[in-house]
Amino acid sequence: MTQTPQQARIRIFDTTLRDGEQSPGVALNHGQKLEIAHQLARLGVDVIEAGFPIASPGDLEGVSRIAREVRGPVIAGLARAGRADIEAAARAVEAADKPRIHTFIATSPIHMARKLNLEPDAVVERAVEAVRLARSFVDDVEFSAEDATRSDWAFLARIFRAAAEAGATTLNVPDTVGYTTPAEMRALFAHLKAELPEHVILSAHCHDDLGLAVANSIAAAEGGARQIECTVNGIGERAGNASLEEIVMAFHTRGDVYGFQTGIRTRELYRASRLVSRLSGMPVQPNKAIVGDNAFAHESGIHQDGVLKARETYEIMQAELVGREAAVLVMGKHSGRAAFRKALTDLGYALEEDRVGPLFARFKDLADRKGQVSADDLRALVDSRSDVP
Ligand code: KIV
Ligand code: ZN
């Protein structure tokens, strides 16, 4: 039976350990990379891009260790379209159960002319040689056209067709500088899908320079991409890459619209986020979707009252589904009486109704002064009995 786009499985290609590690200031040692790779395997990603083996002997060893020790996902090593890079990547991934070499060359006019100093024909030739060489080491070869979204569409189709004929099994379209838009990405994928052989897997790799990486990745899937490249917490070059947890939860929560499935165990998402944040030294912003401190916190009285009556009033997904504790009611000046009463009950107080009113007034004064009122503040408020004449 042919799959309609609405039933398709999307492969999650995690590049936290390669593009994510390219975040300014981030350098992970081997042990840290291995710890993250094990968590990515628990999370259920399909592919781990473990590093860029030619970059340094340390990177090569880091990728090799992951290839030797992490089972489950495909283990990929990145390589420019040249012999030394590809041989280093081949050595690094050789111990993996499922090794992949991911080779790339730039295809946009500005990159070909100013960075590579190569004519388009020569770029196609290099791509073909690189894919052939990579295929002499492994069966699973991914080819990326760097800066694809600023490339000529006919040229992109030409180089991808040549790469597929040379043996590439996945063709990746990077929005290297975060320049594209969802509508453009959807159309580009629909165009490439019509132009390229059916057996190849189309992939999207989006950067977040305009804050569109997740939207562009989803649009790519709607256009025909069946692999999405992303990172935990969206870390990566400049403004970062598409955020893995946001894409996965968008597909999960709005299955009615997208219908895409991933193999991700969503209950491992929060653990992965905390681990990557701690080891990379990159804090997660409090209002970050899915994994930020405030993502499941309610402060306003209206919202708190609603959630106490039925969580679905203000929660489109439950915190437990991504491995977090149930949503919290933050006690502050916007909190209402219902949340105040619930907080006291949770702390073990069973107060007469005629005490709750005066205590609530004192709580509001305190919240005006402090912003957020902690459990200890609430205990002190009740235990001091300052409300009792
Ligand atoms: O952003 C990019 O173009 C890349 C490629 C190497 C895939 O990271
Ligand atoms: Zn990238």
pLDDT digits (tens, 9 = 90+) for 368-388: 999 999 999 999 999 988 777
73 alpha carbon to ligand 1 midpoint, in Å? 20
Q: Report the atom number in ligand 1 closest to the C-alpha of 146.
A: 3
Residue type for 286, please? P
309 alpha carbon to ligand 2 midpoint, in Å? 44
Q: Which residues contact 82 (CB under 8 A, 6 or more apart)?
A: 126, 130
DSSP state of 327: P
383: three-class secondary structure by DSSP: helix
pLDDT at 155: 98
174 alpha carbon to ligand 1 midpoint, in Å? 6
pLDDT tops 60 at residue 184? yes
**Mean pLDDT computed over 73-94:** 98
pLDDT digits (tens, 9 = 90+) for 41-58: 999 999 999 999 999 999
The response to whether 19 counts as a known ligand-binding position is yes
Write the residue with the smallest CA distance to atom 1 of ligand 1. 176
pLDDT tops 50 at residue 144? yes
Half-sphere exposure of 153 (CA within 13 A, CB side): 12
Gap between the Cα atoms of 38 and 53, Å rounded: 19
Kindly identify the ligand whose nearest atom is closest to the C-alpha of 103.
1
pLDDT tops 50 at residue 4? no
Kindly identify the ligand whose nearest atom is closest to the C-alpha of 179.
1
pLDDT digits (tens, 9 = 90+) for 297-312: 998 989 999 999 999 9
**Residue of 78, 100, 176, 206 to mutate, ligand 1, most atoms within 8 A of C-beta:** 176
- 39, 35, 99, 46: which is closest to 72 by C-alpha? 46
Write the residue with the smallest CA distance to atom 5 of ligand 1. 146
**Residue of 146, 156, 227 to mutate, ligand 1, most atoms within 8 A of C-beta:** 146
pLDDT digits (tens, 9 = 90+) for 241-270: 999 999 999 999 999 999 999 999 999 999
Write the residue with the smallest CA distance to atom 2 of ligand 1. 176
Kindly identify the ligand whose nearest atom is closest to the C-alpha of 77.
1
pLDDT at 2: 46
> Which run of H or of E encompasses 328?
strand 328-329
pLDDT tops 80 at residue 349? yes
Q: Is the torsion defined by CA of 267, 268, 269, 271 positive or negative?
A: positive
- Quote the percentage of the chain above a pLDDT of 90: 93
**Residue of 205, 209, 241 to mutate, ligand 1, most atoms within 8 A of C-beta:** 205
**Mean pLDDT computed over 300-326:** 94
**Mean pLDDT computed over 94-119:** 98
Structure tokens at 348: 């073990």
Structure tokens at 155: 């040229």
pLDDT tops 60 at residue 217? yes
List the alpha helices (DSSP H) in the chain.
30-43, 57-69, 83-93, 109-110, 120-137, 153-166, 182-195, 213-223, 244-253, 269-280, 301-309, 337-346, 353-370, 375-383
Gap between the Cα atoms of 176 and 111, Å rounded: 11
Structure tokens at 201: 């897997």
- 57, 59, 49, 58: which is closest to 19 by C-alpha? 49
Gap between the Cα atoms of 83 and 92, Å rounded: 14
- 145, 217, 212: which is closest to 174 by C-alpha? 145
How many C-beta atoms lie closer than 10 Å to residue 46's C-beta? 19
Structure tokens at 216: 């562009």
Which range of 6-20, 158-172, 350-364, 373-387 scores highest in mean pLDDT? It is: 158-172
Q: Which residue has the tokens 């580009």?
A: 188
Structure tokens at 302: 């209206």
Any residues with Cβ below 6 Å from ligand 1, and which? 19, 104, 144, 146, 172, 174, 176, 205, 207
**Mean pLDDT computed over 276-301:** 96
The response to whether 216 counts as a known ligand-binding position is no
**Mean pLDDT computed over 79-104:** 98
360 alpha carbon to ligand 2 midpoint, in Å? 52
The response to whether 30 counts as a known ligand-binding position is no
Tell me phi and psi for residue 173, to 5 degrees: -110, 95
Q: Which residue has the tokens 């960075």?
A: 115
Residues 218, 235 contacting (CB under 8 angstroms) = no
Q: Report the atom number in ligand 1 closest to the C-alpha of 18.
A: 8
The response to whether 241 counts as a known ligand-binding position is yes
Kindly identify the ligand whose nearest atom is closest to the C-alpha of 80.
1
pLDDT at 1: 42
Q: Report the atom number in ligand 1 closest to the C-alpha of 22.
A: 8
**Considering the chain, what is the average pLDDT of its residues?**
95
Residues 10, 230 contacting (CB under 8 angstroms) = no
